[in-house]
Amino acid sequence: MLDWTLAWNHAAEFSRVNCLTICAFLVPANLLATLQTLIFTGLQFPQTKSRLIIGFAGFYGLLMVLHVYTWFYVGVVQAPTFILLFLGSVCLALNTWAIAHCSSLSRLLRQVFFIVAGWLKIKPVRVSQL
């Protein structure tokens, strides 16, 4: 029979021992996958095509949050743990929003794009013009 406490302790120890490697992978993976989620949502790709990347991006965010909690578990409370927790939580929240309410996130992204395009004096291109 599997002892879940022992399994959690081994997984947490692995996470802490390999922290630099895990963070070196998860930070860019979180940022790039969430950026891709935002691009797919903003351009209104079909949900069937974008769900895979949204799933991976949400998984990376969840892994980052769990990795940080292994450090909290042993009492390490420093600035990097809070920064990584914030990064993982924001990525996880954005990906959850993209799955749950795709249309509202798409509207927000389009409004932000038009505001930024106005500041930079860029003429927006419609997706139908591509």
Residue 128 has a pLDDT of 61
Distance CA 77, CA 75 (A): 6
Q: Is the pLDDT of residue 129 over 70?
A: no
pLDDT band at 26 (very low <50, low <70, confident <90, very high): very high
* Token pair recorded at residue 89: 């939580």
Mean pLDDT computed over 47-53: 86
Mean pLDDT computed over 31-47: 91
* Token pair recorded at residue 17: 């021992």
Give residue 27's Cα distance to chain centre.
9
Q: Is the pLDDT of residue 120 over 80?
A: no
Q: Is the pLDDT of residue 124 over 70?
A: no
Distance CA 83, CA 44 (A): 30
Q: Is the pLDDT of residue 125 over 70?
A: no
